[in-house]
Structure 1
Amino acid sequence: MNSYDDRPWLGRYADGQAVDLDPEFTDALAMFRASVAGRPDTVAVKYFDGVLTLRDLDELSDAFAVALQANGFGRGDRIALYLQNVPQFVIALLAAWKAGGIVVPVNPMSKQRELSYLLADSGATVLLCLEGLYSAVARDVVADTDVRFVVTTSELAYQSRDDERVFKGIERTRHEGTSDFVELIDAHSGGRPEPVSYDVDDVAFLTYTSGTTGTPKGAMNTHGNVTYNAQVYRDWCRLGPDDTVLGVAPLFHITGLIAHIAVSLLIPAPLVLAYRFEPGVVLDAIREHRTTFTVGAITVFIALSNTPGVTRADLASLRTVYSGGAPIAPSTARSFQDSFGIYVHNVYGLTETTSPSHLVPPRVAAPVDPASGALSVGVPAPGTMVRIQDDNGNDLPAGEIGEIVTSGPQVVLGYWNKPDETAHALPGRQLRTGDVGYMDADGWFYIVDRKKDLINASGYKVWPREVEDVLYEHPAVREAAVIGVPDEYRGETVKAFVSLKPGTTATPDDLIAHCKERLAAYKYPRGVQLIDELPKTVTGKILRRELRKRSG
């Protein structure tokens, strides 16, 4: 099968069922309202011992929407949410839509420089943030931005079981010049905003790219993007009201926004939140709430598997598990399945594809490419056209490596206020992903690496992914990342950074010998540096740029 136009999965879900390419909803707010109308007493959010139903979410978001409008927030305005995984995120998101606005999710790890940039670039006029983040970061930033209304809130709200593992040392702090989230809602309780509706291309989120390749850009995820990919997750994974979604990805990230919030609101099904990722806390949440579905970085599942005392029974409720955001080594997938009986399916997408563009079918093991050892990221989502192209934009046949170019209902309009970047990366709304990969003869797609991460050793191409996958086959390796470093003889040579599993030992020479036995001479690392933790984004992507800095 070498043609891009005769692929059997186009317009079909994993079990062969045809998909209606006219989405059920083109308006994310209408999607939520339909769930409230049909099942108002369904549990929508679980947060430690706190519970909110769909009716609760509807009433709370109504009140906050009225509060926003009373403070000058209107159609097309932006609200920045500078929060961890707390119920207030979901309430404020819905309220912003009810008030006619656009949501700007902000990484809670952002510092003053990063927050200042995001607020300035988005033109946000309202900021909702945790009290601690206001005092530590936002207070010194907002005066120089367009923000004119600041609301603060506490991670201790909407639950009463303050888990010391994540809440230790946190106390309520009121700040001058800010309004309290819960008090605002109480003051406007019973109020209802004027009805609004959205078209398919109205912007729902400005989700900022991670900045791993340069200045973060605000991807304009539309209401049509959001509802389409929520439907893809629901129908591809066969999710229903009996499911419970584990919110293990950060809600500010596109995975959390779609695979957690949007999916749970569409089904509707409970969304379990645990503030931030702490393996022991998440394990307790899985045990207590019997979660059935989740999407998270593979680093999450590595951390869970290495948590002392974890057993197969602890994770037994998880029926459908996907991982995205960072590559999965085949050996890691095998190890997790051997230990817990759970196969971690690959899902691939970007901020600009509003989460998934490719998925491995449920209950199907992804093939491993015999040449590179890469685990397939799956097949394109229904209604998605994916091409492999050379540097001149020509389509390449099956088996040839090139850039992955994606188009479909989930691809964003462009970047906020960045027409040049939009024209370059999204010509004709076809996304040039910057990822290098290929399609095999059976239609499975494989990611080789990022274009910029290619290592040129004596004229030979070395893709870090291949070396990393070999390192993961060593029984002592927990995480690995490979970069190119300057070399007087080769131009560049391969260097690996490795963290080891607890209770294991391995020397750099051991790991080099392991790779030397399994890789061509130009591919194996000439240097290995052991470190406790690899630097990562909050979503689990390893930051190779930080490793390059360490290499001088």
Structure 2
Amino acid sequence: MSAYAERPWLDLYPPGTPAGIVPVHGTLLEMFRASVERAPGTEAIRYFDGVLTLADLDAASDALAVALAGHGFLPGDRLAVYVQNNPAFVVGLIAAWKAGGSAVAVNPMNKAREVTYLLADSGATALLCLDELYESVARDVIASGGTNVGTVVTCSPLDWQTRDDPRLFPDPDATRATGRPAGTLDLLTLVREYAGRTPEPHTPAPDDVAVLTYTSGTTGVPKGAMNTHAGMVFNTCTYREWMGLTPDDSVLGVAPLFHITGLVGHLTLALLLPCPLVLAHRFDPGVVLDALREHRPTFTVGAITVFISLSAAPGAASEDFSSLRVVYSGGAPVAPAVIARIREVTGLYIHNCYGLTETNSPSHAVPLHTEAPVDPATGALSVGVPVFDTVVRILDDGGEEVPVGETGEIATYGPQVVPGYWGRPEATAESLPGGELRTGDVGFMDEQGWFYLVDRKKDMINAAGYKVWPREVEDVLYGHPAVREAAVVGVPDEYRGETVKAFVSLKDPDHRQPAPGTGTGPGGATDTDGEREPVTEAGLIAYCRERMAAYKYPRSVVFLDELPKTSTGKILRRELRPDTR
């Protein structure tokens, strides 16, 4: 038997923690209905000054389900949801299930070309859309005739609240005066018109698709991961049991709800417990900081860039974060120096977790109240251990297991892994042979069973025959006290084939320029008079050269005010690569 099949990581579970769990509910709809029956008055959503209880959600989703059916939505159909972190997202998701269908999660940052592709590929017949996104994007997409969408329901980000925060809604009066876009149905109007009516009963099967979530398309066109009811219920329960959450908790929704982390680690988790989900339309550090102060949530999970932004927000103090008793970060490797820096400001220890769209959020997580080890050879912070009922192997390029401690592709098998990609049997066979997900991520397992993420296979830099993993260089850069964010890519080099280039944003951009009367020590440090020296390209290169092998350190550094990111907060290396790559 292989070392992976023996699951050495189970010894790292807290005492009394089972190796596996069995969810009580087979589907998300069954789970939601059980929560409504048990605690209908529980606050389900807090949206600025607005509150929706579970009973409110149940009634609103009933009404929308009946309205959708009345406008031609059939069992098995798909409702595309193209909104921000608004109550409408939750209502739309549940309504799609009640109407016998599924949902398609659409990134609200997507433009016409991307939206056209997602609607056509998914075969969605109905669309729930923010009015502003309909006017700017979806109207022309629908008019083009390239989709099956026949019903459009629009909603406003001002729905279900009255505060109209000017940081997010600078002209609410104009927004309200505009009214419903022509040719669409208004969500709140439908909720009122169909109030008290219940849809025809539909009972999804555990293996039915609950949500189609699309991969980022970094290795080709985006693919629709078929997130089933059973897979999403399992990892919803994983969050509850692994993080020790109860109905006394509340969830801060910092991850986008269209993303698998927001879907499972925020939305369905809050419905399961049940407990309040705090939403704030979209991520703005000042707005979210105020939500922390007002609503005092106890749990959240999000990209590390979220916590970097919150800890650096003007006026942020440790007291602002004191209600949070459990915090996890996933989506990208995290440098140990960043964890330490955030802890200094907030008092929080951020636990690592790791997963993909295809694993319904976590496949690995650091056990609660345990600090992740740092690999002494690479400086990588562990992403944790496989969660309940999950077996993870490290494979070589031929698909064979590598010895413990050696690097290879991470392959994951468990009840949270999706059965495949929508309408793409070839891609399913390639990425999910035998139901085991070949993640495309490179990592290793140590003898104790801790897993470490090295990088994406496609991001490896080949410098004169030497492998350079960008994450290792980024971790060194994050150790510099002036660096806020860092991304490393490979660029063509006549002599080495490829060489290392770094892109950096600074905590204080003014430190890029030489200050009068100061020198330029390695990377920018504190001079003898207590003044910080300027941060220069040469200084950062020297800082890295002192800390890593000669073939690894960056040969050039570019300073940017902001690094490009996905809407989930993950830094986009691909946008920093030259077109010739």
In structure 2, the gaps of 5 or more residues are 512-533
Residues 1:141 and 2:117 aligned together: no
**3-state SS of paired residue (2:152):** strand
Letter in 2 for 1:509: A
**3-state SS of paired residue (1:484):** strand
| Residue matched to 1:35 | 35
| Residue matched to 1:522 | 551
**3-state SS of paired residue (1:124):** coil
C-alpha separation between the residues in 2 aligned to 1:8 and 1:449?
23
2:494 to 476, 488, 495: 488
State the shift of 1:337 in Å: 1.2
C-alpha separation between the residues in 2 aligned to 1:358 and 1:19?
13
C-alpha spacing 1:130/1:11, structure 2 compared with 1 (3 Å) = farther
C-alpha spacing 1:411/1:168, structure 2 compared with 1 (3 Å) = same
C-alpha separation between the residues in 2 aligned to 1:336 and 1:429?
38
CA contact (8 A) 2:20 2:389 kept: no
Residues 1:160 and 2:166 aligned together: no
2:217 to 199, 211, 214: 211
**Alignment deviations for residues 230-271 of structure 1 (CA, whole Å, 9 cap, x no partner):** 000000000001101000000000000000001000000100
C-alpha separation between the residues in 2 aligned to 1:533 and 1:193?
47
Counting only pairs closer than 5 Å after superposition, residues 32-181 of structure 1 correspond to structure 2 as 32-143=32-143, 144=145, 145-170=147-172, 171-172=175-176, 173=178, 174-181=180-187
Counting only pairs closer than 5 Å after superposition, residues 338-487 of structure 1 correspond to structure 2 as 338-487=344-493
**3-state SS of paired residue (1:200):** coil
**3-state SS of paired residue (2:281):** coil
C-alpha separation between the residues in 1 aligned to 2:2 and 2:338?
31
**3-state SS of paired residue (1:137):** helix
State the shift of 1:176 in Å: 1.4
Residues 1:299 and 2:305 aligned together: yes
CA contact (8 A) 1:2 1:397 kept: no
Identical positions, percent: 64
Query: Structure 1 segments of 4 or more deviating over 3 A?
Result: 8-16, 549-552
State the shift of 1:169 in Å: 2.9
| Residue matched to 1:232 | 238
CA contact (8 A) 1:366 1:376 kept: yes
CA contact (8 A) 2:491 2:578 kept: no
C-alpha separation between the residues in 2 aligned to 1:14 and 1:249?
27
| Residue matched to 2:522 | none
C-alpha separation between the residues in 2 aligned to 1:49 and 1:549?
46
| Residue matched to 1:255 | 261
Residues 1:546 and 2:552 aligned together: no
C-alpha spacing 1:25/1:9, structure 2 compared with 1 (3 Å) = farther
Letter in 1 for 2:89: F
**3-state SS of paired residue (2:168):** helix
Residues 1:281 and 2:287 aligned together: yes
State the shift of 1:126 in Å: 0.3
> How many pairs were matched up?
552
**3-state SS of paired residue (2:160):** coil
Letter in 1 for 2:238: V
CA contact (8 A) 1:494 1:523 kept: yes
CA contact (8 A) 1:249 1:256 kept: yes
State the shift of 1:6 in Å: 2.3
C-alpha spacing 1:11/1:96, structure 2 compared with 1 (3 Å) = farther
**Alignment deviations for residues 244-301 of structure 1 (CA, whole Å, 9 cap, x no partner):** 1000000000000000001000000100000000000000001100011001100000
**3-state SS of paired residue (2:373):** coil
C-alpha spacing 1:467/1:457, structure 2 compared with 1 (3 Å) = same
1:335 to 331, 341, 344: 341
State the shift of 1:72 in Å: 1.1
C-alpha separation between the residues in 2 aligned to 1:421 and 1:168?
44
State the shift of 1:21 in Å: 3.4
C-alpha separation between the residues in 1 aligned to 2:206 and 2:152?
30
State the shift of 1:212 in Å: 2.5
State the shift of 1:18 in Å: 1.6
Letter in 2 for 1:543: L
| Residue matched to 1:535 | 564
C-alpha separation between the residues in 2 aligned to 1:539 and 1:256?
9
In structure 1, the gaps of 5 or more residues are none
State the shift of 1:19 in Å: 5.3
CA contact (8 A) 1:374 1:446 kept: yes
C-alpha separation between the residues in 2 aligned to 1:336 and 1:482?
22
C-alpha separation between the residues in 2 aligned to 1:14 and 1:86?
36
Letter in 2 for 1:157: D
| Residue matched to 2:525 | none
TM-score by length of 1: 0.98
Letter in 1 for 2:483: V
Structure with the greater alpha carbon radius of gyration:
2
